[in-house]
Amino acid sequence: MKIVIVDDDRFITASLKTILQSDPEIEIAAVGASGEEAIELYSKHRPDILLTDIRMGALSGLQAAETIIKQFPDARVLLLTTFSDDEYIVAALRIGARGYIIKQDAEAIAPALKAVMSNQSVFGGEIAVKLPSFLNGGAAGGLKGYDLNERELEIIESVAAGMNNKEIADALFLSEGTVRNYLSVILEKLSLRDRTQLAVFYYQNR
């Protein structure tokens, strides 16, 4: 997997490069030090994953990630920071980032990259426990106002609970292919990008 690392702390980028290069599955395509460089390097190298800090100078990692995801809808962005403030977590989810982990949890970074590469969304432990509480703080308009049938609601609830397609299929006695088809229809119906945004939608509207 090819990744680009961006952090305005050169020591952090050097450390991450050293740590991650020891994994034979990971190739470091480039490193940068600003939001502007994140956009430039992503466009140039088209990495499998962009690993970027959130707080950086004039253009933050969040702003850079949002720009990149708008231009490249399939972009995988994993946000890295020393902060676990709710506002950053919510923003990361809403722009379609694939994950948000704390820098201090260095041992979790390579596994997180591999999980993101497998199209999973990842969150550091201390962040994951916060998800239900802060998402419940959204405007709860209820799910009944949307054109969703009972089976679609069951699948949305399962996604929000963190279940993968196989687990959903087993729980609902469906094939994985049928679950994938349902998810495609649900995402299109709700104008959402991926299952992370679907989980946000569920907690904000249940």
Contacts of 51 (CB under 8 A, 6+ apart): 3, 4, 5, 6, 16, 78, 80, 109, 113
Compare 100 and 125 and report the one with higher pLDDT: 100
Lowest mean pLDDT among 81-85, 141-145, 198-202: 141-145
The H-or-E segment that residue 120 falls in is none
- The mean pLDDT value for 189-198 works out to 84
Residue range 2-134, CATH number:
3.40.50.2300
pLDDT score recorded for residue 118: 84
Q: Interhelix angle for 86-95 vs 195-205, to 10°?
A: 120
Question: Considering the domain 150-205, what is its CATH architecture?
Answer: Orthogonal Bundle (1.10)
Q: Is the pLDDT of residue 126 over 70?
A: no
pLDDT band at 85 (very low <50, low <70, confident <90, very high): low
Q: Which two tokens stand for residue 124?
A: 């550091």
d(CA 13, CA 28): 11
Mean pLDDT taken over the chain: 83
CA 148 to chain centre: 25
Q: Is the pLDDT of residue 125 over 70?
A: no
Q: Which two tokens stand for residue 95?
A: 């722009």
pLDDT score recorded for residue 58: 84
For the segment 142-169, what is each residue's pLDDT rounded down to a tens digit?
676 678 888 998 899 888 877 889 999 9
Residue 205: φ, ψ to 5°? -120, 0
Picking from 43, 55, 52, the residue whose alpha carbon sits closest to that of residue 5 is 52
For the segment 9-63, what is each residue's pLDDT rounded down to a tens digit?
889 899 899 989 889 999 999 999 999 999 999 999 999 999 999 888 788 888 9
For a pLDDT cut of 70, what percent of the chain falls above it? 86
Residue spans per domain, the chain: 2-134, 150-205
